[in-house]
Amino acid sequence: MDGQAHAARALWNCLHDWWSMLPKEKRCLAAADAAIRQARKEIDWLGMLPAQAAQAVLKTYFQAWRNCWDGRVGAPTFKVRNRTVMSVDIPQGRDLNITRVHRRWGMVNIPKVGRVRFRWTKELPVGKRARGDDRITGARLVKDALGWHISFRVQILEAGPEPHTGPDVGIDAGVNLPLALSDGNHQDHGRPPRLADGTADQGKWLNPPEKAKLLGLERRAARRKQHRGRGEKTSRRLQHTYDQIKQLRAKATRRAVDWQHKTTTYIAERYSIVVVEQLHIKSMVKSARGTIEEPGHNVVQKSGLNRSISQEAWGRTVTMLAYKTARQGGALHKVPAPGTSLRCSACGSTTPGSRKDQATFVCKNPDCGWSGNADWNAARNILHLYRRGHALVPAAGRAVVRRPRGVKPATAR
């Protein structure tokens, strides 16, 4: 499977190089398909990749250009070996021949690999569980630091959801409190507080023994890196230490995504209208270092805050809420973000000095004096903006409720 994944990455790079050098009038799907067939005959290691998987690389590449032309993403680029997720696509479900061994394990046939055992974590339309037009249309193999995983593409015919009858809720995404809800039903993953110097805790999803192990591995990698000369190849011991660090970080990422899936599913099932802020996260995590002429201030504290924002993955949470609320018959709306954390949710006034610190809000209006959690106050303001008709209209031609590429459902190991 490693060989197939490297062959798929190399095929993408060759296809991108071929596309860039070919004149525009000769670029077409048929010419690309003929070039791939000829390359698989002449290059032995490209033949390691199954023909259907090679066709899937071609379709994915053309779809990447369509997304670029539509303005959704940038132009496709070369896939670097060390920074590319290893993956292989199996586009035809009839080649899988899935059988269930017992409750926890199943067997699947992977082309040019053979029968492979996988962990059965979700019901699949196989055997007696296949109803009507329900079927498996394909699969995708993905490798991370913890090993290979398989995700099945399943086609299931379901009736449209009934309109959700639950209440409305506003959600404010924060650092100390991950998701603050306007009705007080806050969602917290139990992460420890930030460190004394203002930086974020790197191992917030790891238990104390795992945190100690991660710290020891990072120190070991730093010591071994000192003995490597400039331009020298990484030693096997140092690479092994890097692999161990990646495994711990991948475990933390898996736990974070699991918490996001469970929390967003709970919110989508309970509430009909979910309102969030329109956040520009890329601008929020900019460095405060500044330039030589105008150096920045509180660079270390801002760096820790940027790291905490990135680790919370607010954009992924909003993406999950978008398609899960639509699946439950609800809807997700966005409102402008400026002023939601500084305005009092009780009287509606913005008084200087009301935001005492990161966690407390005390209204300085003499006629009000409301006090409470700052994130809860912002969540109430977000819902109030939606009820007053300040919801943002999505851009034309873009799907709002579709689960986009990169956000996957629960996968089987």
Max CA separation in the chain (angstroms): 82
Question: Strand, coil or helix: what is 91?
Answer: coil
Task: For residue range 237-283, list pLDDT tens digits in order.
Answer: 999 999 999 999 999 989 999 999 999 999 999 999 999 988 887 87
* pTM for the whole structure: 0.80
Task: For residue range 290-327, list pLDDT tens digits in order.
Answer: 767 777 777 777 788 888 788 888 889 999 999 999 99
User: Locate tokens 């890329």: which residue?
Assistant: 282
CA distance 138 to 216: 42
CA distance 110 to 121: 19
User: Locate tokens 């197939």: which residue?
Assistant: 4
Domain limits of the chain?
2-89, 92-155, 168-201+254-387
Q: Over the Cα atoms of the chain, what is R_g?
A: 25
CA distance 74 to 369: 49
**In this structure, are residues 181 and 169 in contact, taking their beta carbons and an 8 Å threshold?**
yes
Nearest CA to 165 out of 320, 330, 333, 383 is that of 330
Quick one: CA dihedral 16, 21, 27, 32, positive or negative? negative
> How sure is the predictor about 393, in pLDDT bands with cuts at 50, 70 and 90?
low
pLDDT for res 29:
85
Burial track 365-399 (b if 16+ CB lie within 10 A, e otherwise): eeebeeebbbbbbbbbbbbbbbeeeebeeeeeeee
